[in-house]
Each structure stands twice: as C-alpha cells, then as structure tokens.
Amino acid sequence: MHSPASSAAGSPPGAPPRGAGRYAPSPSGDLHLGNLRTAVVAWVLARDSGRAFRMRVDDLDTARSRPGVAERQLADLAAIGIDWDGEIMWESERSEAYAAAAGRLADRGLVYECYCSRREIAEAPRAPHSPPGAYPGTCRYLTGAERALRREALGPGRTPALRLRAEVAELTVHDLVLGSHTGVVDDVVLRRGDGVWAYNLAVVVDDADQGVDQVVRGEDLLSSAPRQVYLAELLGLPRPEYAHVPLAVNAAGERLAKRDGAVTLADLAREGTTTRSAVARIVASLGGPEGADSIEALRGVITAESLQSGPWVVA
Ligand code: GLU
C-alpha cells in the first residue's frame, strides 16, 4: 500500500502550517474512470499549491460498505500514482468526534429530534417559498408533549433522527470552477434514525480534523456545499475553498456508471488495457501531453479555468 506516513509531519519548523487537499471515496463499489479522474484533479491541485494530500474512507454506513471495496479503491488510487500524507481516516471509527460536534450544537439549542419517516417528509405540506428537497420542518415546532408521544410511537430499537435547527434558508458559496452558487440550507439530518451519523456533519468535522482547506470533488456534491459551510460556521471551523469537477458522462451524456462497460481498472485489465493506458486517457482528458502515462505530467497543467470545459465524455 502506498501510504507515505513519513511525510505527514510536513512543514519545517517555523514554516506556516500548510493546508491540505483530500479525496474521500465511499466504499460502495469500485472507482470508475470518472472517480479516478476527480481524485487526480484533487491530488494535482493540492500538490501544485504546496498542500498536503489526505485520504479518507467515507464508510459511515457500515451496513452498506461492502468488504474489500475500500481496500480495492485505495489500491487503484495508488496504482494510478496518487500518494497521500499521514494515516488514512476511516469514518466508521469516528463516532466520538461526530457525537462531540453534535453535542456542541445541542448545547446551543441547535439540535432537535425528528420522528418523520421518508414518506411523511415527502407528503408534508410545504410553505410556498420552501425549496424542493428541503425538510418541511414538521418536527421543529413540536411541543414537549407531542415529542413524548412521537418518541413512544417509534417502537423498540428505533431512535429519533437528530436535525439541525438552521437559522438561514440559503447560503452562497464560491466555487473555483463553477463560480458563485447559492443553495438550500435546511434542517439537515445530523444523525439518522438508524443511529448512523450523517454525511454532511461527518464531512465537515473530518475535513477540519484532517486540516483540509481545499475540497476538490465531483460536481454532484456542489448542492451540499452551502449546508456544509453553514455547519462549519456554526462549529467555528474554517471554510475550505471549493472546486467541484464536472463529472464523467457516457456517450449519451448520462453520468458514467458500471453498466457503461469497461470503466474500472479491473474491467479494463480484463480487456487487456493496462493501468498506464488508463492513466494516459485521464491525463489527456485533463489537457496533459498526449501519450503521457503518469499523473506527474499534469503538474502545473490543471487550473480551475481548465476544468470549466464541462463533462468528460467517456465513449
Ligand atoms: N464520499 C463522498 C462520495 O464518494 C464524497 C464526499 C466529499 O467529497 O465530500 O461521493
């Protein structure tokens, strides 16, 4: 495994602490070319700006994490030339940090229990100005007596979800690639009804604990950034800079997926395509020199502007 722990300490004495970039795969399946390309972008932008690069496995939902998948993802990232500093962070080992952060919010009256099922949320009447996808606020205004009844009705073994009592409805973030984005901030879930800590809380707590001040990830997560910035502000954590990378798509313009054929390193190897030629495709797609088969060839080449050219068509 490619994990140069020795460079973790980083800066020489007296030097200002350098920030970090990161990649944070969820171990739900093998990484495809689009995921690998986004990881390469994150690595290049971090290294080119003198930052450290951190690795994190977003395995919050252990029931959905399949055995061996994270290890294969990490091996694939190392195989294409990505290295990282320090220990890998595993979200499944971080419950105490999430509980502490939620506790700090609760101490300020910013957390409430939510008993809603998905269906209740979907069917709840919405205020006319309420943006689609936002929590309608059903449990926010319950009285103590109503809460007691709802809690009892949950039945054994089920816990209420925890939600943030948000005091704004939207927030604007600046994205280095996509520009200014104003998006919904609602009463986000902090802990799910099955006891699993929620992605938005975990990402904010973990980025801060890993010293991450540059978040480079797929464009699909841009809509989460306003909620995450808001949470970071409430927790007194610094706001990272964001660069959301346009996704890889298939010939029909749909988001690249397993069913699109040979899209993972393992699929490609079965077809006789080497990892080096997969890297060469990624390098070329990012404006690197034609035929270069090392991600080093992208150092100094990728900029936020160069990423504005839109999705990568993997045909
Ligand atoms: N684990 C998330 C994913 O694979 C990414 C989290 C993030 O970059 O904030 O979609």
The residue to mutate among 23, 65, 199, having the most atoms of ligand 1 within 8 angstroms of its beta carbon, is 199
pLDDT at site 217: 98
- Number of structural domains found in the chain: 2
If asked whether residues 75 and 130 sit together in one domain, one would say no
207 CB under 6 A from ligand 1?
no
What amino acid occupies position 123? E
Measured distance CA(79)–CA(202) in Å, rounded: 28
Secondary element (H or E) of residue 53: strand 52-57
* Ligand 1 site, residue 221, Cβ cutoff 6 A: yes
How remote is the CA of residue 144 from the centroid of ligand 1, in Å? 37
The CATH number linked to 271 is 3.40.50.620
For residue 25 and ligand 1, the question of a CB distance below 6 A is answered with yes
Residue 233 lies in a domain: no
Q: What is the pLDDT of residue 177?
A: 97
83 and 138 in a single domain? The answer is no
User: Over the stretch 45-102, which tens digit does the pLDDT of each residue have?
Assistant: 999 999 999 999 999 998 888 889 999 999 999 999 999 999 999 999 999 999 999 9
Range with the poorest average pLDDT among 122-131, 236-245, 257-266 = 122-131
Average pLDDT over residues 127-155: 87
How far apart (Å, rounded) are the C-alpha atoms in residues 304 and 315? 24
Q: Label residue 216 by pLDDT band (50, 70, 90).
A: very high
Tell me the two tokens of residue 102: 């939620």
Give the pLDDT band of residue 219 (cuts 50, 70, 90): very high
Q: Are residues 61 and 123 in the same domain?
A: no
147 lies in the same domain as 168: yes
Element (DSSP H or E) covering residue 45: helix 33-48
**Phi, psi values for residue 82, rounded to 5°:** -85, 130
CATH number at residue 145: 3.90.800.10
For 123, the enclosing helix (H) or strand (E) is helix 118-123
Q: pLDDT value at position 265?
A: 97
Range of the domain at 87: 1-92+246-315
Q: Cα(24) to centroid of ligand 1, in Å?
A: 5
Residue with tokens 């080093």: 296
Q: CA-CA distance, 292 to 246, in Å (whole number)?
A: 22
- Residue 24 Cβ < 6 Å to ligand 1: yes
Q: Which residues pair with 189 in a beta bridge?
A: 163
Average per-residue pLDDT in the chain?
A: 92
- Is 238 among the domain residues? no
Q: With bands split at pLDDT 50, 70 and 90, how would you rate the model's confidence at 12?
A: low
Examine the pLDDT at 237 and tell me if it is beyond 90: yes
Residue 241, in any domain of the structure: no
